[in-house]
Structure 1
């Protein structure tokens, strides 16, 4: 297709970046030119790209405020460009919460912004208690306990469905 694609991401523990890199690999294999930017590093223009993808993880039920601010400030540019958004969160580990239509964080996200992405997805993240600072670990264990998830402090589970990530990338390539 030979499109110029920008991917903007926000990650807390690195899983969203890992997902972005898989999406990038698939898009590059399809002969696209892809540039990856952290929310803290992007200083270009959305209009420089044929397609613009935004990915953001959740921490304590919220996407990074910088992502929300970016979308609000660049809504007109986003609307003029093919675009996509994906959310990464542990609630999506449950099949009944793994789509944009059923994921409570994604639904809440759309209610708090004035933008509807052309294409969207929700991916489960990674649970790695030993990587988290003490307070985060306790809070995430509490949330997991409340949602019947694993609470053992040695737990390390990558819930991300890599086939689903690759299917999303192929969909983006075909749009």
Structure 2
């Protein structure tokens, strides 16, 4: 089986949790995953050592984590040589409407156009409302937005919207792509 890099950009930590779960599913499938933050990648990191790469990034104020986008831009050649996936994490994905679907797809397309990346797969994942992590002003603003979108407004606790079964199914499919690529490269 192959070595797979899982790189993530996260603010309040939900995307880090998602990246860890991706790593767990890849390990269960027999792969050797390494999960890293795009904010502080190891200095000796070389994507050429990996048989597949997943980049996960959260959306805040309509844009993905800048460090994750920079990571893609800086490693574009290596990302294009192996199976790669982009996982976009947002609260918009928690809203089941056509408008939300178009918006989440536009978030993904913005990153791909900005970086020139053509990942093998993309996936949109609902994130979490981390009210306990937000400062007072952010909590107030997010609560108003959540109310308009019919999401949880109880600020005394966090609210998770990630569909773990869907994420695990996506990751399993990606693991198969890495298997196929690794066996054809031999």
TM-score normalized by the length of structure 1: 0.89
User: Could you tell me whether the CA contact under 8 Å between 1:91 and 1:103 is conserved in 2?
Assistant: no
Structure 1: segments with no counterpart, 5+ residues: none
The match for 1:153 is: 155
Deviation of 1:131 (Å):
2.0
CA contact (8 A) 2:104 2:124 kept: no
Contact 1:100–1:120 (Cα < 8 Å) also in 2 = no
Structure 1 segment 9-88 matched on structure 2, within 5 A: 9-42=8-41, 43=43, 44-88=45-89
Residues 152, 159 of structure 2: 8 Å contact kept: no
Give per-residue Cα distances to partners, 1:116-153, cap 9 Å, x unaligned: 21111010011132221112212212332443433343
> What CA RMSD, in Å, does the superposition of the two structures yield over aligned residues?
2.1
Per-residue deviation at 1:80? 1.1
Aligned length: 174
* Residue number in structure 2 paired with 1:144: 146
1:15-49 CA distance string (max 9 Å, x none): 11111111111111111111111112323111110
C-alpha contact (below 8 Å) 2:93/2:104 kept by paired residues: no
Q: Gaps spanning 5+ residues in structure 2: where?
A: 178-186
Q: Whose helix proportion is higher, 1 or 2?
A: 2
Larger CA deviation: 90-99 vs 56-65: 90-99
Following superposition, the deviation at residue 99 of structure 1 comes to 6.2
Change (3 A) 1:116 1:96: farther
Q: TM-score, with normalisation over the residues of structure 2?
A: 0.84
Change (3 A) 1:113 1:10: same
TM-aligned CA deviation for residue 95 of structure 1: 3.1
CA contact (8 A) 1:57 1:88 kept: yes
Work out whether residues 124 and 161 of structure 1, in 8 Å CA contact, stay in contact via their aligned partners in 2.
yes
